[in-house]
């Protein structure tokens, strides 16, 4: 899965990419994502400043599901602060 877990992100949007086997339904943060015929997926995600938890849930044809969690750190605050 790209980006890797725990990485700092400076952009406001990223494209989450990955590969999945034997799944016919994929949810990223509860929203359905497309899977191509080779099992590749990608979805645009909004990154907020601070900790961003992303949950990827895959379900196979028999209804069995597996879940993976990804934590990204948003470092995209463009406003400057003066102490």
What the block records as the tokens of 44 is 């645009």
- β-pair partners for 65: 59
Which of the four pLDDT bands, split at 50, 70 and 90, describes residue 82? very low
Q: 6-17 pLDDT, tens per residue?
A: 999 999 999 999
Q: How many CB atoms lie within 10 A of CB 25?
A: 14
Q: Comparing 77 with 33, which gets the higher pLDDT?
A: 33
The whole-number pLDDT of residue 76 equals 79
Structure confidence at residue 78 as a pLDDT band (50, 70, 90): low
Rounded Cα distance, 72 and 32, in Å:
20
Asked whether the beta carbons of 55 and 29 are under 8 A apart, the reply is yes
Give the rounded percent of residues in the chain with a pLDDT score beyond 90: 84
Q: Around Cβ 13, how many Cβ atoms within 10 Å?
A: 10
Work out the pLDDT band at 29, boundaries 50, 70, 90. very high
Q: What is the pLDDT, as a whole number, of residue 83?
A: 40
């Amino acid at each position: 899965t790209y980006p890797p877990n725990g990485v700092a992100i400076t952009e406001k949007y990223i494209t989450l990419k990955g590969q999945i086997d034997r799944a016919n339904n994929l949810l990223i943060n509860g929203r359905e994502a497309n899977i191509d015929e080779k099992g590749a997926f990608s979805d645009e995600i909004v990154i907020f400043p601070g900790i961003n938890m992303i949950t990827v849930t895959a379900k196979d044809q028999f209804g069995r599901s597996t879940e993976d969690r990804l934590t990204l750190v948003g470092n995209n605050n463009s406003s400057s602060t003066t102490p």
